[in-house]
Structure 1
């Protein structure tokens, strides 16, 4: 499959037609029901420019049978192998008139259950009793992210833009990236499609300019055990039997 070599070489790949219209509508319905009935939930973040649900797979587990359909299961196992589990998930809703933008960055932190002193784990933060830390580069290099697109995403409503192959450079300060000699790609994805990316890939997104909504479910995966004393705080193992 072409996307396997593309992920290795470029750090990302786009696969359309992973979800049916019916599966997407079921996911949307479950999200809308949850948010309507729990407006003050502490894992919800709401502003004029962005609505987000942290720990999405824990907050709305009813979506999992639709998310982990046969297509996505096959893509994960054929691309990365067996034994992966969810380590983090966030739902993003960028409204039609959003001025929200995100500058170029790498995804350098993971969510864990507590803070302890461990070699190669640093830059600790905590928000709403959720601990985040930058782990060893090896852990980041072996994880991957899948972004499920609930709406068609284009350059005009905040599609991600990435620096091709930047994931191969390790952890890097943005000022050390030679933009003049790098290739930038705008990652447009159809409704019901996905984008797979590596955490160390430099990525950013622009403001919305066409008054079209952009909703994405961002899910991070790993199959690595953490050092003794800490655990993935959002860990969820999944299989066909578990989610159906």
Structure 2
């Protein structure tokens, strides 16, 4: 994988708010990642289990053995080339949408960041707190700076919950789903192969449908930024 190859994907991210790159991880690498997750202790409160969804918040902290498998030399090269030299992890989540899942996600933007405490600060809010985890909507420039990498452990298409996105919506600021004008906007289904990745700006409007063909969908979601937060506020999951 070369810088020249990645240039077209960099342009697509700027223009559309997302891109898909397949064959990033080998079959052996994906198997090792899946086995490591399978062995994790799921009793911690950051592990969420239901019939429709298994999820792990603060994933790289809760399953530290997976970090070197996920953040391999290829991914590090892609981050430096596509994002910049100074980007670091600010959030990580693992999703497992089982074969029988009726879980769907309506169109939305990712508007919050994870931080270490709650502070009254101009431009930051509203706040939410779940199990001592603090999340806040920051000023727009902070959101515009973030990139998300979604690593797919399964083939994903419209039949097992692939993301639906509105191309170009990342460039329109805060864009409420109820304001989507489908006479102007288009919808694109982001099919990603097992071992492939999707890179997305969090302000890109996105959602997903229910699984209809009995195939599971496992995704590792990692967000990156190179911005320091103001005053005493810190990224709660910061990882270089």
TM-score by length of 2: 0.96
Report the Cα offset of residue 89 of structure 1: 0.5
Aligned pair partner of 2:175 in 153, 172, 176? 172
**What secondary structure is seen at the aligned counterpart in 2 of 1:48?**
coil
State the Cα deviation string for residues 86-110 of structure 1 (Å, max 9, x = none). Answer: 1110000000010000000000000
Q: State the match for 1:24 in structure 2.
A: 30
Residue 183 of structure 1: CA displacement?
1.4
- Given the alignment, which residue of 91, 98, 109 partners 2:101? 98
What is the distance in 1 between the residues matched to 2:75 and 2:145?
19
**What residue ranges of structure 2 are gaps of 5+ in the alignment?**
1-6
1:39 Cα shift? 3.5
Q: 2:110 aligns with which of 101, 107, 117?
A: 107
Q: Which residues of 2 match residues 144-155 of structure 1 at below 5 A?
A: 144-155=147-158
Could you list the per-position Cα deviations for residues 16-65 of structure 1 after superposition, in whole angstroms to 9, with x for gaps in the alignment? 0100111111101110000xxx2321010011000000100001111111
Alpha-carbon deviations, 1:138-197, whole Å to 9, x = none?
000011100000001011000000000000000122222212211110000000000000
The Cα of 1:118 is off from its aligned counterpart by 0.7
Q: Could you say which residue in structure 2 is the equivalent of 1:82?
A: 85
The runs of at least 4 aligned residues of structure 1 exceeding 4 Å deviation read none
Indicate the RMSD between aligned Cα atoms, in angstroms.
0.8
1:77-226 aligned within 5 A: 77-226=80-229
**Which runs of no fewer than 5 residues in structure 1 stay unpaired?**
238-244
What SS is found at the alignment partner of 2:235? coil
Cα deviation digits, residues 191-234 of structure 1 (max 9, x gap): 00000000100000000000001000000111100010110011
